[in-house]
Amino acid sequence: MLLKRSGLGLDVRGKIILMLLIVGGLSAAAIGWIGFQSGRENLTERISVELEARRDLTADGIENYFDQLDAQVSALAEDQTVRDALRRLPEIYERVSGPTTGQEAALQAFYEDSFLPSLPGATDEVQLVNSYLPEDDAARTLQSFYFAPTGGRANAAVNPGLSDFSRNHDQIHQGLSALSAASDFRDLMLVGVDGLVYYSVEKEVDFATNLLDGTFDNSGLARAYKAAREQRGTRQVHIEDYDFYRPSGGEPAAFISTPVYNRGTFLGVLVVQISAGRTQNMVDAASQSGMSDEVYIVAADGTLRTNGRRFRTDPEAFIEFAQGVGMDADLVTQIERFGSQVGLLKVSNEAVQLAQRGETATVVFPAAYGDAELLAAAKPLDINGLSWVIVSAITLNEAYAPIANFQRRIVIAVTILAIAITLFAVLASRLITQPITTLIKRAQLVSQGDLDTPMGLSRTDEFGELSMQLQSLTDSLRHKRDEAELARGRIEGLLAQLLPARIVRLLGEFDPEADTAIVSENIDDISIIMVEIKGYENLLNTADLSDGVTALDSLIRRIDTACIAAGVEKVRTSGPSYVAAAGLSAPQIDHPQRALAFATSLIGLLDRFRTETGFDLHISIGVASGPVIAAIVGGKMKAFELFGPAKEDARKMSQFGDINEIRVNAALASRIDDSRKVVPAKDGYGMILEHAQPKAGAAE
């Protein structure tokens, strides 16, 4: 009989416990809330100051870096070596004749084997070598000389113009290459008034091309050159923002250019290529190790100029995250292809927008993807020719970690108080809690697999009713367990009938949840029999399909019987192929003899089958001995397979053998006694076994 309860359905003891918990919880919550709000405000102010200091320090470093680049490029334009190079190289270039056949072939091979494979991923257009090869003969000669020395340097002596160019180039290169390395330039190039790249430290595929009408006339390098070329009469330095640059393997690259004069005469343009790595290193240094904070740069178009921290530390995790939050699939593909977010991933938040309007701000805003909120300090960068903003940000979860720790301590204190009150109430109400404890202990035994534990209590109250329900549940679980054990026994018996013992053992060791695990076992010596049924397709195509299937089933059953009689194990059938093995589940000293006995018996078996059924079927058999690996392979759909040279030998011999022919590999042939003879196959696939009767007892 159920007891009648009023109010919330609690007895007196329950109401006392509830009131104590409410009073203690509300008091602790009020104190904790006040402390939390005060700590949050103070912590926000302190973190904002730290973010602004980190932002300003990094901004100063980046601005100084570009100021130094500006000064370096301006000074280089006044260098006598640069002027002499732009005066001499164009004249010598005119004397360089076209490439020889060997140079042309070597250059073609360079583009096919070295340059095109270096480009990131596949592109929408067809990458043709001819679209990158310069049309000018002298340009191809120079590229073959510097890109493919096996085709160029050996023929330099027969090309006086090339020899003169190389000699002058080496004089220039000694100083400029050292200067480029000391200044950490990605490359340093000299471009003539005609747009031709006469000199390059790195000698990438933009060398000796024309930036006005050549392959890279729309690249960042070409834009930097044209901007400096149009500044004739001035000595200004132009900066071309980062963009993906194919000659450098698709890496983001920026270019700084300035015109070069000699006594007022325009000689050409000096261009310096800088990679995104230097800027990236400066923002990386500003991020604290182990924290979620980061510093990044955003250009005027809203795209990043440095990689975000999540992508930088674990690109694969970022790609998985981006796909999971619904980022544009094409954008994710591009980021993965180029291995960079620079120039691809757009960032638009309140901090960036304020900085792009020229304001310096510290704001809180939601993350573009996910539920996290960010605290960020942003401001515009003062770099001549670039409209960049710098942002220093941290997730609020990271920023407020100390507050979260304080919250946890409050929760722990409230929990301890609740436990103390609860324990007091439990001690005072032993008669009520005792049946609960008894039921819990018995339920624990049930959870551990003891389904024979009695759950019923000799009570007439709610606990007695509950115990009877639990007893009913336990009885149901015991019944289902017995049914499951019975089904498992049936499945194991069925597997033992269908599969070799080694396969069943490997399947028993396999964990279906470990999707990437490989269960395998090495077998040092085994004989594999591959039977190829000839005429299989005609059987299914020309005859009535049901009759053909019935006949094929009859044939397989007969082969199975022969398999058992020879003491070998069937592995599987697949279309016209039947695979068996001797020595698979357990070592067999005479496995070669068993395999040959089985193979020989099949010749007569097929003769009898044709006579009895009228179906024109024949077989070719390959028998090979040697080591293999037995493994469970595949994803969600698992399969058993044998791997190794012996398996491949047996397969090839069965496929290339003539009808009613048995072929063996060298390893097995060496074990055949004098009663059987083998001759080498004319096609090179194994040795043909002459049909001789096996010795008595060979298959026993």
Residues 637-684: pLDDT tens digits?
A: 777 788 999 899 999 999 988 888 999 998 888 888 777 788 898 888
Write the DSSP string, 51-68.
HHHHHHHHHHHHHHHHHH
pLDDT at residue 700, rounded to an integer? 33
Q: How far apart are CA 392 and CA 399, in angstroms?
A: 13
Give the pLDDT band (50/70/90) at residue 10.
low
- Kindly report, residue by residue over 413-437, the tens digit of the pLDDT: 667 765 766 666 556 556 666 676 7
In the structure encoding, which two tokens stand for residue 601, read together? 């018996």
Q: Domain 8-96+159-306+342-428 class? A: alpha beta
pLDDT at 624: 94
CA 150, distance to chain mean position in Å, is 37
In 3D space, the residue among 697, 686, 681 whose CA is nearest the CA of residue 530 turns out to be 686
| CATH ID of 506-689, from 3.40.50.10470, 3.40.50.2300, 1.10.287.1080, 3.30.70.1230 | 3.30.70.1230
Kindly report which listed range (25-29, 63-67, 495-499, 688-692) carries the lowest average pLDDT score.
Answer: 495-499
- Say which range, 169-178, 520-529, 545-554, has the weakest mean pLDDT: 545-554
What letter would DSSP give residue 699? T
The answer on pLDDT for 689 being more than 50 is yes
Please return the burial class of 500, using the count of CB atoms within 10 Å of its CB with bins 0-12, 13-18 and 19+: buried
Instruction: Find the mean pLDDT for residues 140-158.
Output: 69
**Residue extents of the structural domains in the chain:** 8-96+159-306+342-428, 438-498, 506-689
Mean pLDDT within 577-583: 92
The Cα diameter of the chain in Å comes to: 115
Are 8-96+159-306+342-428 and 506-689 the same fold in CATH?
no
Average pLDDT over residues 338-364: 85
Give the pLDDT confidence score for residue 257 in this predicted structure. Answer: 93
Residue 688's nearest CA partner among 677, 678, 700 is: 678
Which is more confident, 686 or 6?
A: 686
* 16, two tokens: 């006392």
Q: CA-CA-CA-CA torsion for 125, 128, 134, 137, nearest 10 degrees? A: -160
Structure confidence by residue, pLDDT tens digits, 453-485: 776 667 777 767 776 777 777 777 777 777 777
Tokens 């078996």 belong to 605
Per-residue pLDDT at 497 exceeds 80: no
- Tell me the pairing of strands 187-192 and 639-643: unpaired
150 has pLDDT over 60? no
Smallest CA-to-CA distance from 660 within 625, 621, 690 is with 621
Among residues 663, 657, 671, 646, the alpha carbon closest in space to that of 600 is found at: 663
Taking 90 as the threshold, does the pLDDT of residue 602 lie above it?
Answer: yes
Most confident of 39-48, 166-175, 289-298: 166-175
Question: pLDDT averaged over the chain?
Answer: 80
pLDDT at 1: 39
Distance of CA 191 to the CA centre of its chain: 41
pLDDT value for 699: 36
DSSP secondary structure letters along 446-515 = HHTT-TTS----S-SSHHHHHHHHHHHHHHHHHHHHHHHHHHHHHHHHHHHHHS-HHHHHHHHH--TT-T
Above 90 in pLDDT, residue 86?
Answer: yes
Does residue 148 register a pLDDT over 80?
Answer: no
Residue 307 DSSP SS3: coil
The pLDDT > 70 percentage for the chain reads 77
Would you say 358 and 346 are in contact if contact means Cβ atoms under 8 Å apart? no
Position of tokens 């049930």?
446
Q: Give the tens place of pLDDT for each residue, 188-235.
A: 999 999 999 999 999 999 999 999 998 899 999 999 999 998 876 677
pLDDT: is 136 or 490 the higher one? 136
